[in-house]
Structure 1
Amino acid sequence: MLVQELKAKGYTSFVLTDINNTSAVFEVYREALKQGLKMNVGIEFRRNGQWQYTAVAKSATGFRIINEHLTAHQHCNSFPPLFHEEVLVIFPMNNLPERALTANEFISFPPEQVHRWPSLKHLHPYREHLLMGLPITFSAPKDRQLHRLLCAIDQNVLLSKLDKSRIATTSAFPIPKKDYIEYYASMPDVVQQSQELLSMCTLHFDLEKPRNKRFYTCSDKDDMALLRKLTYDGFAYRYSKNDRYARARVEKELRVIEQLKMGAYFLITWDMLRYAGNCGFYHVGRGSGANSIVAYCLKITDVDPVELNLYFERFINPYRSSPPDFDIDFSWDERDQILDYLFKRYGKDHVALMACYNTFKAKSLIRELGKVFGLPKGDIDCMIDEPNKPKKHHEMARKIYRYAHRLQGIPNHLSIHAGGVLISEAPITCCTPLLQMPKGFPIVHFDMHVAEDIGYYKFDVLSQRGLGHIKECVKLVQENLGVSIDVHDIQSFKKDERIKHNLKIGKTIGCFYIESPAMRQLLQKLSCDNYVSLVAASSIIRPGVAKSGMMKTYIERAHHPEKVQYLHPVFEEHLGETYGVMVYQEDVIKIAHHFAGISLDEADILRRAMSGKTRSKTAFQELQDQFFANCQARGHARALSEEVWRQMESFSGYSFCKAHSASFAVESYQSLFLKTYYPLEFMVAVINNFGGFYFAELYLHEARLAGANIHAPCINRSSWLTSIRQKDIYIGFVHIKSINQKLIQEIITEREQKGPFRSLADFTSRVAIGREQLELLIRIDAFRFTGHSPQQLQWKKGLCLRPNKPKVATGLLFASEMAQEQKYELPTLEQEGNEGFFEQLDLLGFPLSSPFDILRTSFRGDFPAIDLVKYQGQTVRMLGYYITRKPVRTVKGEIMNFGSFIDAWGYFFDSCHFPPSLQHSPFQGRGCYLIKGKVVVEFGFPTVEVEKMVKLPQKADPRY
């Protein structure tokens, strides 16, 4: 819009100078090329909002120098002078250096100052350094108010308190070029010098130039020789030597990789994973990269593309305009070490993380604008919570809504992309400054879309908790049971009958991607007991498929495949696995190729175009014309062709990458294997990785059902994280609210070095602890080994801790000198009733005993939830402990909920709360609920459609 405005006003060139930033450079540059304008680039360096100077690049070298300067000094209190022959430095009139200006330093002389020139005596010696200055901040006068509002938000002040020196003048918008030059009619030398300098700036970006690291070895030839060797080394592990089909596919992929000069990309990924393997790290290679048999042979992924008939063209093909990328997941606590390796292996000047733009969202904008206009919090909350009740709003509300609508979606600040890493051939500062982030890894100033446009393809180095619990479980099994596990033996997991059974009945709590209530429902409705079915389930659970109604269609067809009527024999041949439903993105490619005869390469382009991932409408129209022309040549009726096209176009918008689903399914099988055969260790690992779908309480419940003995934290047995010894699970101190981690580490170190604690007095003599922290440990009954109740220990602590004595442990060397407990007779202090239950609830957030035991009623429901399916169509009463709920909107826009509960026997059951029911029987937080409703069974899975629900009262807390 800005470029078009400049062109309309007669300009042929301009300089883009964002404030301490270059995020917009390449997008604006591309638009300038399109409009036929010459664009130069600079940076307006500001300190605390005050303009220091502007640096303009005369060339690509100058741009790199400017980027390096900003990178080096962005966290300093000021920007030091910048001297370089390829950089022009322009100072504002009110911030001139106290020295003579160099040949490359100039002064911005705005048009409104021309008439004052005779009186500006201090500038007369600098006449030859004056430049025309027309800073443009907004596109039209009406937008200045938006600029002021953004400045006020940035400064966190009322609009009336805005520092005027930090905002643009009223004239900071484009005016016609002839009017601009007319302002300087009395100073033609300034005009001439400005135009000459602008013509000297010859910065040019080659937007088609590949920018990633060119070679892994020394040349393309050597890269391909190494890649071929490593691929065939892996081929011997993955396939039979006589597998001609797999070998032919390897050769086909290697040819395309060589043609597109992507050998280095595969080898760098292989190198990263080789390092991870040497460190004992687990990884999952997912995304479209799992479509590659070369990636499978290099062990980048564990998905066999031959087994699943995955098309390499979905990952790489010569017609694809955007670069591909590998998505590599590591455990959440190992990713930073991988990133550190990449920075050190390929050089800090050549590696950076991808940025993303955090944009202004509607609700946050209303809150920020409300503060800027000085509205009370209550009025702002009302505008956000009740937008459709204008009578309750402040009189400024309409104006705030209007400004919020105009500002919504514009960039707010730079943030870190979820996992994108760039590894460049030239220093990254040739294209962008770098912004240092809290963990020490720098990010570029542009996002993934710009990176693709200018020739970068990223490496997605991601993290997740699922891999963490797999790795920790393997470790715990080795330590607790002395058993070694190969979690990569996926083929045997797929054939295991116990794993198949647990998958089929949805016994998947804690397992990656398949533990949510919706996923467990789907598994049971599908009677899913095999890998191929799980891959499909991982895809159709996606919101788009479910919302479109195709998930239900798929389940119906899975139960009655004999009733499926295929649109054409091609659908039966190539979509028979999914009963004619286009579940995956690859399915669109299959149909375009096999039904219409479009090449696989072009079919992927068509698939991307249909899903809105291409900017070229012309290319899309050409492919559409080719599709129908091919169909006609093949003798397909026009009506049939149009229906096939309609289905392809509608499915492509929400379909999921099959390789992605397959990668998820591999990890799900690994988790399910561990849960099936080592449930106690598995649940401890899930708890300690803090990334499951549910609270730790539910995972402890699962462990208890599997035979574990659950213990509260214990001074002599517990660690910071939850630990296991045979069948005894000790909850980690980390779960105690407000506990000090450093103190716990000191306790554990003291225990390991000098043995277990013998009494409270022994503990306080060896550990420096304050009263509040000691009370927390006593309340959670961490000193139960002493044989005294928490109430007795609360009384005794006064004798062990002296209020005026420094908190310093004595650490006596010999046991005989150890502080001896004084002999005295304790009063009778016993724990009342359910006091321990409420202490655990306060300190851990959940009880260790059954929540049903604390209810005032003895009623436990009409029957166990496992028998629900027998009561189809009947109204029942269920008693359930609330686990989770999912809010969704109906077609009318009303809120309804799906809930999950556990009954008194430990079985799960699910509930459905339609808007009327939810309105008069809302959820009221965690606790036990009495539910009355009708049992509805769909594909063998029962749900209670709630008519009425009440939260049941608990027994009184005896502590109060």
Structure 2
Amino acid sequence: MEETGTGGAADGGSPEYLGQGERHEGTPDERRVDLAPGTRYAELCVTTNFTFLTGASHPEEMVARAAELGLEAVAITDRNSLAGVVRAHSALREIRRGLAEGGTVTIRGQVVHDPSSRQDDRGAGLPVPPRLPRLIVGARLVFSDSPVEWLALPTDRDAYARLSRMLSTGKRRARKGRCDLHLADLQAEGEGLILIGLPPEEASPGAEDPEARTTEARLRDMMRRFPGHVFLGAAPRYDGRDRARLAERARLAQRTGVPMVALGDVLMHHARRRRLADVLTCLREGCTIDRIGRRALPNAERRLKAPADMARMFRDHPAAIRRTLDIARRCTFSLDELSYDYPDEISNGEPPQKRLERLTIEGLRRRFPRGTPQDTLQKVEKELRIIGTLGFAAYFLTVNDIVTFARSRGILCQGRGSAANSVICYALGITEVAPDTISMVFERFMSEARGEPPDIDVDFEHERREEVIQHIYETYGRHRAGLTATVIHFRSRAAIREVGKVMGLSEDLLAAIASGSWGWSSRAPSRDSLLELGLNPDDRRLAQTLDLIAEIIGFPRHLSQHVGGFVITRGRLDELCPIENATMDGRTVIEWDKDDIDALGILKVDVLSLGMLTCIRKAFDLIAQHRGQHWDLENLPREDPDTYDMLCRADAIGVFQVESRAQMAFLPRMKPREFYDLVIEVAIIRPGPIQGGMVHPYINRRQGKEEVVLPSTELRAVLERTMGVPLFQEQAMQIAVVAAGFTPEEADRLRRSLATFKRMGTIGTFKDRFIGGMLARGYDLPFAEQCFAQIEGFGEYGFPESHAASFALLVYASAWLKRHHPAAFTCALLNSQPMGFYAPAQLVRDLQEHGHEVRPISVNHSEWDNTLERRPDGALALRLGFRQIKGLREEDAQWITACRGNGYPDVESLWRRAGVAPAALEKLALADAFAPMRLNRRDALWAVKAIRAPKPLPLFGDTGEGVIEPEADLPQMTLGEQVIDDYLSLRLSLRAHPMEIVRPNLPGLTAAADLGQSPLAVSVCGLVITRQRPGTASGVIFITLEDETGVCNVVVWPKVYERFRRIVIGGRLLKITGRLQRQEGIIHLIAETVEDYSMALNYLGELGTEAIDPTEGRGDETRRPVPLRELPGKHPLRSKTGGGGGRVHPRDQARILFPSRDFH
């Protein structure tokens, strides 16, 4: 309907819908699917939300809506990008599969019906589209040297390769997230592309305007270069001028000889996204909705339209509609054509399969020096046959080359995941799980029936993984290797802040609303949370803001790089997918993420990082250095009783995978005594077993409280090691094979169906087959249904036994190190930060509680890393290193260490010899690193402030710059002030715990160490060191409080959480009153009330005492006394709103000095 568009906002004004209630946006056709007889149309210009901050709908929504509207085809044409096309491709494939199976499919809320049964709201009997729309892959090319944009639609695979290569060229010229395309790039790579020109709207073709003449000349030039492939795009704007606009565009087509084609220039799949489109415009332009002016959409018409509506719009130009169908027929390329060849040059001329067989045999001889067991040889023979059939030998050789390189450089690495089900991976040294450790199910890793590429994940030391990454680039070249992308989405906190800012809400209000959102939550704020803040959720502006927040959550914000997934190709990678520069120097990233390449069957190698591997290697080095013992993962003593005794006591701070509060609570109940117990420990406190109701049956059977039921010999072999309770994905597959008669390939399809049944609803057929198969083999119906219910319960989150076993190796290694070399282990943990569950303060405290000395930072003793020093009694003490000082550069620390000699007598000598800037000296003084010179913090700061020059000058090498500093009698710092500065600089204190200082002012509290003997009703107060909200805990929050005597584990049930939401999320010092729950040596406090005592942390020092401010000005200058709670002008704790010498806001001091580690 042409002349129904509403006008846009005036310059500087806001859109007309602001302040109005809910109403429908758009013309009546939006509420129905309008399919007039014989009308056909293909939409060739669709911008999705992968044109970041522009498109207002997901690619999946676009193709689902196109299917409902009956479009012949739909082209995804994002700006200089192919990032969203695979999602559209996958959505259409899912719709096609779903319609074939059941009649309707839901894609991101869009319900797509079976075309054979579709009716519209005017009754039955109307024609329906005979098939789903075909996806046309394309891009909207924007150039730095031409105002004319071009839609580029490849007609075949070669044209697609040229388009991808051209986009890569533009992206590699520019910084991350940008694309610098030149018109010459299109002229060089345009063969085989359908090119639809989009001249700027403000151009006036035919006038004596130089720009208009240039536009016409460029259109003619492109027509000469690519005859028959160039078209002129025409799109309505629904502003009352469309008839004239389209007529003018038709005249331009006649003058240039370039045929006109109809476009919708779509930004959204549905009219209701208009407001969100305007918000995205504001985010892109950096303005509020009240200042968007003419940049706002004038109406909601830039949405997908039914063919009949487009035909009415172009009723004066019917050929423009017909050309959309002609172009769609010519664009035959499909993403299914992207054949992928893995590189094979690692074979050095030897056929990949033969080389793999040879290396496997050599590896078996190394792994089994006394001879390989027969059953292992049979598994190897089967694996080699499947690998040969599927043609994946080169993939295994590539992974083997990467692992071999890492080990040649002394980089600790280990494969994990389903790859540990492969004996070949074990023989090659990719994985470390021996075949007799677990029940290897190769079909979990790869199978002939599935025919999909395997997925091998390898962990490397996190500090040295970059060496491995650069080796891959050097070996294969950047034109053949790239990291996969990760899509960064809007989550609740970012959505609240960004949308709220656009809607004109104040910073304070947004901070308050955001503070009620938990971590990476994907939900908009609730009415209750707004009422809790004293806000009116029915306020129109606020209500609209919340609606928009809910809509934008899940929208892509930008692309980042995957944690380590590499795609490596035999040919050019940039002909498979566009490549762009990463933010980090020396890295390049493809536009597609893990799910995209999985959907297309493209192999990737996961080069992942794991901090615990770094820690273990550093611990081995420290032990070799100080004890002369040489350990590695292969020669550690096995099944050490002392190590298991330690774990049974839940003494596991710092131990890999079992240091969470839930794992530590389970250890005394589990009482691990052998390696396989650790495999179960790793896997059982996971979403799958918890949701499947398997934890309690397993532990009850392990403790003899419940009978172990194994109803058949076949199931005994599968379930005996787990007390008759299925805990692993491999067991679900094995049960299907031995008890229900599935083939291994069918069992793998069952596993994959279990993983997606909540989303796809594809489990019904398998359930009938499974239960029927068990009944046919003599099992009774209740038992068969129980078996299926158990494996169904954990299907979506099931944990592979192979993955658990790989991690269990590191659990044992880290536990052994903690038990037998605690100082070396803690030193290595600190030198490997950031990693793990606990902050350095808790790691240091744990070492002290085990009776080991921890020495402070010293300019005359410390190095960059934390180190070990031998005590007179032969024990090892931990010396804190310069790396613990916040903001100190490693380069400065290296100079201090290199120039130290026999020690520095004073601050000035350190400055002169090491040549570090006064700013670095100030950081050392704040960290109390000059204590060996008998200088306290204030004396050291006074001395540092006397140094003016950034570096010493040779002229004054022996004269001290000619300045004689007067001595100052500075007041001594209180213990509380010392602790504050310790945490400020080091994030830990060796002097005292904050609760030790605060406790005298907080009567009626029970210390954590006394909870074992106290009454059940208690009040506990402590620093929040961790917060957990597992997705499987039904909204339960787990908090760990720490006081000067130990830790207290707190359970916050949902009702209590809702009452004290903001305190639970944001508090740093909490007082929690509740009842104790004691069970098998584990104590939990069940919270009833939660109080925020974070303000008390602002009073650790003595208020009201006056002192000279030693951090401002020269040492020979005196200043007005300032209260001790005031901190220097550039201090990170200064209030943002304060002036010179601003006071610390108590909330900010607690948040910055005592941060918690929160896990979601």
For the superposition of Structure 1 and Structure 2, which TM-score range results when normalised by the shorter chain? 0.7 to 0.9
Q: Partners in 2 of 1:119 and 1:868 — Cα distance?
A: 81
Matching of residues 165-244 of structure 1 within 5 Å: 171-177=301-307, 180=310, 199-206=329-336, 209-213=339-343, 216-217=346-347, 222-239=351-368, 240-241=370-371, 243-244=373-374
> Does the 8 Å CA contact 2:693/2:790 hold for their aligned counterparts?
no
Residue of 570, 576, 579 corresponding to 2:723: 579
Matching of residues 457-476 of structure 1 within 5 Å: 457-476=603-622
Alignment deviations for residues 602-660 of structure 1 (CA, whole Å, 9 cap, x no partner)? 21221221221799867x55544432342233233334323322223223234311111
Residue of 886, 894, 897 corresponding to 1:748: 897
Residue of 223, 226, 234 corresponding to 1:109: 234
1:808 aligns with 2:951: yes
- Cα drift, residue 183 of structure 1: 5.8
Alignment deviations for residues 59-99 of structure 1 (CA, whole Å, 9 cap, x no partner)? 22222222222222233675211113223433223372755
- Cα drift, residue 356 of structure 1: 3.0
- Cα drift, residue 325 of structure 1: 0.4
Task: Look up the match of 2:255.
Answer: 125
Residue of 990, 994, 998 corresponding to 1:848: 990
> Does the 8 Å CA contact 1:50/1:165 hold for their aligned counterparts?
no
Q: 1:613 to 1:256 in 2, by over 3 A?
A: farther
Residue of 401, 423, 437 corresponding to 1:293: 423
Q: 1:649 to 1:525 in 2, by over 3 A?
A: same
Residue of 164, 168, 174 corresponding to 1:71: 168
Q: Partners in 2 of 1:271 and 1:786 — Cα distance?
A: 53
Task: Look up the match of 1:901.
Answer: 1042
1:528 aligns with 2:672: yes
Task: Look up the match of 1:735.
Answer: 884
AA in 2 matched with 1:421: F
> Does the 8 Å CA contact 2:147/2:199 hold for their aligned counterparts?
no
Matching of residues 1-40 of structure 1 within 5 Å: 2-3=62-63, 5-6=65-66, 11-29=71-89, 34=96, 35=131, 37-40=133-136
Matching of residues 356-505 of structure 1 within 5 Å: 356-380=486-510, 385=516, 387-388=527-528, 389=530, 392-393=536-537, 394-439=539-584, 440-490=586-636, 492=637, 494-505=638-649
Aligned residues: percent identity? 22
Alignment deviations for residues 833-880 of structure 1 (CA, whole Å, 9 cap, x no partner)? 5254443233223221232664564999999977865x4x84487987
Alignment deviations for residues 139-163 of structure 1 (CA, whole Å, 9 cap, x no partner)? 3444433333332233332234337
> Does the 8 Å CA contact 2:231/2:261 hold for their aligned counterparts?
yes
Matching of residues 600-619 of structure 1 within 5 Å: 600-612=744-756
AA in 1 matched with 2:991: S
> Does the 8 Å CA contact 1:499/1:672 hold for their aligned counterparts?
yes
> Does the 8 Å CA contact 2:234/2:246 hold for their aligned counterparts?
no
Residue of 262, 280, 294 corresponding to 2:392: 262
Q: 1:875 to 1:408 in 2, by over 3 A?
A: closer
Question: Once structures 1 and 2 are overlaid, which stretch shifts more, 626-635 or 374-383?
Answer: 374-383
- Cα drift, residue 311 of structure 1: 1.4
- Cα drift, residue 882 of structure 1: 3.9
Residue of 525, 550, 556 corresponding to 2:700: 556
1:320 aligns with 2:467: no
Q: Find the residue that maps to 1:884 and give its secondary structure.
A: strand
Q: Find the residue that maps to 2:75 and give its secondary structure.
A: strand
Total equivalences in the alignment: 944
Question: Once structures 1 and 2 are overlaid, which stretch shifts more, 843-852 or 290-299?
Answer: 843-852
Could you state the TM-score of these two structures normalised by the residue count of structure 1? 0.88
Q: Find the residue that maps to 2:415 and give its secondary structure.
A: strand
- Cα drift, residue 383 of structure 1: 5.5
Q: Partners in 2 of 1:29 and 1:248 — Cα distance?
A: 41
AA in 2 matched with 1:231: T
Q: Partners in 1 of 2:706 and 2:309 — Cα distance?
A: 77
Q: Find the residue that maps to 2:899 and give its secondary structure.
A: helix
- Cα drift, residue 180 of structure 1: 4.2
Q: 1:32 to 1:570 in 2, by over 3 A?
A: closer
Q: 1:821 to 1:501 in 2, by over 3 A?
A: farther
- Cα drift, residue 333 of structure 1: 1.4
Q: 1:552 to 1:898 in 2, by over 3 A?
A: farther
AA in 2 matched with 1:787: R
Q: Find the residue that maps to 2:336 and give its secondary structure.
A: coil
AA in 2 matched with 1:69: M
Q: 1:147 to 1:710 in 2, by over 3 A?
A: same
Q: 1:929 to 1:628 in 2, by over 3 A?
A: closer
Q: Find the residue that maps to 1:703 and give its secondary structure.
A: helix
Task: Look up the match of 1:41.
Answer: 137
- Cα drift, residue 503 of structure 1: 2.0
Question: Once structures 1 and 2 are overlaid, which stretch shifts more, 685-694 or 24-33?
Answer: 24-33
1:541 aligns with 2:690: no
Question: Once structures 1 and 2 are overlaid, which stretch shifts more, 58-67 or 410-419?
Answer: 410-419
Provide the alpha-carbon RMSD of the alignment: 4.0
Alignment deviations for residues 680-722 of structure 1 (CA, whole Å, 9 cap, x no partner)? 1211110121112111112222333445432322112222332
Q: Partners in 1 of 2:998 and 2:549 — Cα distance?
A: 49
> Does the 8 Å CA contact 1:684/1:723 hold for their aligned counterparts?
yes
Question: Once structures 1 and 2 are overlaid, which stretch shifts more, 669-678 or 107-116?
Answer: 107-116
Question: Once structures 1 and 2 are overlaid, which stretch shifts more, 130-139 or 860-869?
Answer: 860-869
Q: Partners in 1 of 2:639 and 2:409 — Cα distance?
A: 30
Q: 1:200 to 1:882 in 2, by over 3 A?
A: closer
AA in 2 matched with 1:655: G
Question: Once structures 1 and 2 are overlaid, which stretch shifts more, 516-525 or 140-149?
Answer: 140-149
- Cα drift, residue 195 of structure 1: 5.8
AA in 2 matched with 1:316: M
AA in 1 matched with 2:820: Y
- Cα drift, residue 532 of structure 1: 0.9
- Cα drift, residue 912 of structure 1: 4.5
Q: 1:707 to 1:149 in 2, by over 3 A?
A: same
- Cα drift, residue 295 of structure 1: 0.7
Task: Look up the match of 1:598.
Answer: 742
Structure 1 segments unaligned to the other structure (5+ residues) = none
1:93 aligns with 2:195: no
Question: Once structures 1 and 2 are overlaid, which stretch shifts more, 709-718 or 376-385?
Answer: 376-385
Q: Partners in 1 of 2:248 and 2:1043 — Cα distance?
A: 86
1:782 aligns with 2:929: yes
Q: Find the residue that maps to 1:725 and give its secondary structure.
A: strand
Task: Look up the match of 2:867.
Answer: 723
- Cα drift, residue 203 of structure 1: 2.3
- Cα drift, residue 425 of structure 1: 3.1
AA in 2 matched with 1:474: F
Task: Look up the match of 1:939.
Answer: 1080
AA in 2 matched with 1:848: L
AA in 2 matched with 1:782: A
